Amino acid sequence: MAAHIVFPLLLAAGTSSKQSNPLTAFLPLILIGGVFWFLIMRPQQRRVKEQRSMTTNLKQGDRVVAAGGIVGTIRRVDDTTISLQVADSVVIKVDKGSISKRLPDA
């Protein structure tokens, strides 16, 4: 038999006349959304939660790293700002949100 006759017959044999469930059309999209949530959104939310708890638990005497790599010791904690001593007699005020991490006590 010629190929131009066989292929249309094979294609016609594979199709059925019943309709498929509309949920199966959206299933790949739902799965991609689930993978996106667990691989990207959930870890990001966990990091934000850890950062927020770290900034709320800062206290006087903690050594921290602020934005730009400024390392200092906390001298005063206000509602939105922190006073950092970065050298002898040098105290700067930074926003609480600029604190990136707490350093271990030396």
Q: Which residue has the higher pLDDT, 24 or 103?
A: 103
**What is the distance between the alpha carbons of residues 105 and 95, in angstroms, rounded to a whole number?**
22
CATH topology of domain 59-106: SH3 type barrels. (2.30.30)
- What percentage of the chain exceeds 70 in pLDDT? 82
For residue 1, is pLDDT > 90?
no
Overall average pLDDT of the 68-93 stretch:
93
**What is the distance between the alpha carbons of residues 96 and 84, in angstroms, rounded to a whole number?**
11
Q: Please answer whether residues 82 and 93 qualify as being in contact, where contact means their C-beta atoms are separated by less than 8 angstroms.
A: yes
For residue 2, is pLDDT > 70?
no
Among 35, 79, 29, 37, which Cα is nearest to 58's?
79
Please report which residue ranges of the chain form alpha helices under DSSP H: 3-14, 22-36, 42-56
pLDDT of residue 32: 92
Q: Which sequence spans correspond to the domains of the chain?
A: 22-57, 59-106
For residue 78, is pLDDT > 80?
yes
Overall average pLDDT of the 10-27 stretch:
68
pTM value is 0.61
